[in-house]
């Protein structure tokens, strides 16, 4: 039985090694909401809410998540007797619509606590079957095709198994054409539009068919299913849905309508592990490959993504880059690393998520903190 005694909410500021630019803006510093849990019988863990500073990925932001967790969500589980983590999703859903990232930060931590109490790695508790996972890199929009070629070539030389190229109108076809011409037909490339296009841009999107891409990720509106189906039927390249897939029902809608052929599962986006597992299992049955996307997480959030990505249908390289990709120094030990073949090891040697939080570094980076519960 899990009884959460208290949760410390804490915001830290982590500067990125280099600016990260997508179609909706540029990030140079990441505001991160961490949660530190303690149970009545002495177990503790950390989790991360992946909401950004602004509601430009979804309707959530770090400040709304803080309110949702403090006022509505944490009171549903603090002090309650939780027999199994599978019940937490339903508890958090009662009378609270949306706020998936806030819910996920609570729900996934209960899974981690359960793994510790059972003496098992988090990946094993989730049903993971891999000891290492293939890793891709996400590259922000670059100033020129030449700079993009340099970035992609460097990443593939390091061993990354996939290069995701961020695009937006005016910085798309010519940039991708240049990379494909420079690196050849075998370079594993995909593009991510972050909702920057409409069906009025179909000529541009069809032009991307010429470049043998692994996928085009979420080119149309962030919450759309229908128009993606119109687009997919006019493209050879698979569409991957990201923001649109917020639960397993949306994944089923995508399948029935033919809106896409691949799903990016981000556990924060779908409200935690319970929905992520349902989406994974449905997609496996429907022969839809999935992969795990990233949200510029610290090493804490990365731990949860790595555990999830160890499941069998995560057959495409995920955005689970090593710590050094984004941070001069991470907040976990050991930091996440990648070998020369682009593989990140899944921690299986001890119970839980497999990394420890550097509490001193977290304290140094803390902007504010607040205790919920005893």
User: In what helix (H) or strand (E) does residue 368 lie, and over which residues does it extend?
Assistant: strand 366-373
Is 166 part of the annotated catalytic residue set?
Answer: yes
| Of residues 33, 4, 31, 13, the one with CA closest to residue 109 | 4
Phi then psi for residue 147, to 5 deg, are: -65, -35
Question: Are the beta carbons of 240 and 263 closer than 8 angstroms?
Answer: yes
Strand-pair category, 290-291 with 262-264? parallel
Question: Are the beta carbons of 105 and 49 closer than 8 angstroms?
Answer: yes
Catalytic residue among 164, 166, 168, 261: 166
Q: How far is CA 178 from CA 125, 142, 150, 173, in A?
A: 44, 13, 11, 8
Length of the chain: 374
Measured at the CA of 219, the angle between CA 221 and CA 229, to 5 degrees, comes to 75
Q: In a 3-state reduction of DSSP, which class is residue 14? A: strand
Is 266 part of the annotated catalytic residue set?
Answer: yes
Question: Are the beta carbons of 291 and 316 closer than 8 angstroms?
Answer: yes
Measured at the CA of 224, the angle between CA 269 and CA 108, to 5 degrees, comes to 10
Q: CB count, 10 Å around CB of 202?
A: 15
Burial category of 139 from C-beta neighbours within 10 Å (exposed 0-12, middle 13-18, buried 19 and up): buried
| Of residues 79, 3, 14, the one with CA closest to residue 325 | 14
Question: How many CA atoms, within 13 angstroms, populate the side-chain half-sphere of residue 298?
Answer: 31
Which sequence positions are flagged as catalytic?
166, 266
């Amino acid at each position: 039985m899990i009884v959460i005694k208290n949760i410390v909410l804490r915001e830290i500021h982590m500067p990125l090694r280099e600016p990260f630019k997508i179609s909706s803006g540029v990030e140079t510093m990441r505001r991160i909401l961490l949660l530190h849990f303690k149970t009545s019988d002495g177990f503790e863990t950390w989790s991360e809410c992946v909401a950004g500073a602004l509601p430009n990925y979804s309707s959530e932001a770090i400040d709304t998540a803080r309110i949702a967790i403090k006022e509505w969500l944490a009171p549903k589980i603090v002090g309650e007797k939780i027999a199994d983590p599978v019940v937490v999703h339903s508890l958090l859903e009662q009378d609270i619509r949306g706020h998936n990232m806030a819910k996920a930060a609570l729900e996934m931590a209960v899974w981690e606590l359960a793994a510790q109490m059972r003496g098992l790695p988090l990946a094993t508790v989730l049903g993971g079957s891999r000891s290492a996972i293939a890793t891709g890199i996400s590259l922000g929009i670059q100033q020129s095709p030449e700079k993009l070629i340099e970035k992609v070539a460097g990443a593939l030389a390091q061993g990354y198994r996939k290069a995701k190229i961020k695009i937006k109108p005016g910085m798309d076809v010519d940039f991708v054409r240049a990379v494909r011409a420079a690196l050849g037909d075998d370079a594993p490339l995909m593009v991510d539009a972050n909702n920057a296009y409409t069906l009025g841009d179909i000529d541009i999107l069809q032009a991307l068919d010429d470049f043998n891409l692994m996928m085009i990720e979420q080119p149309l509106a962030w919450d759309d299913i229908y128009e993606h189906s119109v687009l997919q039927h006019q493209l050879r390249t698979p569409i991957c849905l990201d923001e649109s897939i917020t639960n397993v029902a949306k994944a089923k809608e995508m399948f029935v309508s033919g809106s896409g052929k691949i799903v990016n599962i981000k556990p924060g986006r779908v409200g935690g592990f319970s929905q992520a597992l349902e989406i994974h299992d449905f997609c496996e049955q429907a022969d839809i490959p999935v992969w795990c996307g990233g949200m510029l997480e610290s090493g804490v959030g990365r731990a949860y993504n790595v555990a999830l990505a160890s499941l069998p249908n995560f057959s495409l390289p995920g955005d689970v880059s090593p710590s050094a990709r984004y941070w001069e120094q991470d907040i976990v030990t050991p930091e996440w690393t990648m070998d020369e073949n682009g593989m990140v090891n899944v921690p299986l040697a001890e119970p839980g998520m497999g990394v420890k939080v550097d509490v001193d570094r977290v304290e140094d980076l803390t902007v504010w903190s607040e205790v919920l519960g005893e």
